[in-house]
Amino acid sequence: MINATPRVQVPRAVAKGEIFQVRTLISHPMETGLRRNDQGNVIPRKIIKKFVCRYNGVVVFSADFHEAVAANPYVEFYLRAVESGRLEFAWEEDGGGVLILPHDIVVT
């Protein structure tokens, strides 16, 4: 499990066919493995390597992250409202830790 705090901003209800904005932010240090601590020891690499958004189980957006991504990655994208259901946001960290945040949406 990832020790991070995600935030997602999505409307609760949208009209069918409407394009809506999705904004995500996750508090995560995104350690590259290149820095050293006060004792001179290398801080191990620990980054979020993949972000995926699923709409009713179908992947509608994904992004691969690398060392150059800043701490607390922010992602913004747009989706078209097709049907009511669930948006599922998943952040995958090095080592296999995954954080999943569901969000229900109503399409009118």
pLDDT in tens, 37-78: 999 999 988 889 999 999 999 999 999 998 888 899 999 999
Residue 99 predicted with pLDDT over 90: yes
**Reported pTM:** 0.88
Segment 77-93 shows an average pLDDT of 96
Residue 1 predicted with pLDDT over 60: no
Parent domain of 33:
5-107
Number of domains in the chain: 1
**Token pair of 101 as six digits:** 């945040």
Q: Using alpha carbons, list the distances in angstroms from residue 3 to 32, 68, 98.
A: 16, 20, 10
pLDDT at 4: 82
What CATH number is attached to the domain comprising 61? 2.60.40.10
21: Cβ–Cβ under 8 A, 6 or more apart, which residues? 9, 10, 76, 77, 78
